[in-house]
Structure 1
Amino acid sequence: MPKFRKKSIEIEAHQWFGNGDHPNDGCIAGKITEGLVVRRYRRPDIPGTNTCILCGYLMHDHGWIDTLEGGHTVCPGDWIITGVKGERYPCKPDIFEMTYDEV
């Protein structure tokens, strides 16, 4: 099977812990407002009082981000990456740590 190496590019990333953490959200951290990048949690099929199987936090503590592939839940501590074409997507902290170095 062919192997590939990730191209060396610089990305912009911000770690998200709650509403207003992303600098482009347009809201004040701690206020109950809708962010422009990471919005309020959006999964009607999973109640906000449930515990997340990935991070252990209540689903009410999560965010929601629209990506090119559709919507994704954002866990507290996830990194929000802005790609080379301006697209945004979440990345788990352990994967971010293995993939990226600060420049």
Structure 2
Amino acid sequence: MKYRKKPVEIEAIQFNGNNIQQILEFADSSKLKINGELVIDTLEGEMLVSKNDFVIEGVNGEFYPCKPDIFEKTYERVN
């Protein structure tokens, strides 16, 4: 069977390596760890946020990283 992703608007911010404060303000800071690296505690466990990854807020308020190539294939900017 084939399935299509439901159209849903999300909130996201791209991590550029220098905007940790913006990421902390955007995401649930209790789920973020900064110990030389930016790590998000997700439903699947801890995930590293690499430079240029997008931090996405999911439909249930959860946060997780997404690689830029996947983000560009999956989402488009809403004006």
More relative contact order, 1 or 2 (CA 8 Å, 6+ apart): 2
Larger radius of gyration: 1
Distance 1:25 1:83 in 2: 13
RMSD: 2.2
The alignment status of 1:97 with 2:72, answered yes or no, reads yes
- Residue identity in the other structure for 1:9: V
1:21 offset after TM fit, Å? 3.1
Give TM-score scaled by structure 1 length: 0.64
Percentage of pairs with the same residue? 47
Alignment of 1:1-103 (within 5 A): 2-18=1-17, 19-22=20-23, 24=25, 36=29, 37-41=31-35, 60=36, 62-103=37-78
Equivalence for 1:57: none
Gaps of 5+ in 2: none
Shift of 1:22: 1.3
TM-score relative to the length of structure 2: 0.81
**Structure with the larger helix share:** 2
Query: Does the Cα contact within 8 Å between 1:22 and 1:38 map onto a contact in 2?
Result: no
Residues 16, 80 of structure 1: 8 Å contact kept: yes
Count of equivalent residues: 75
**Moved segments of 4+, more than 3 Å:** none
Instruction: Structure 1: give runs of 5+ residues left out of the alignment.
Output: 27-34, 42-59
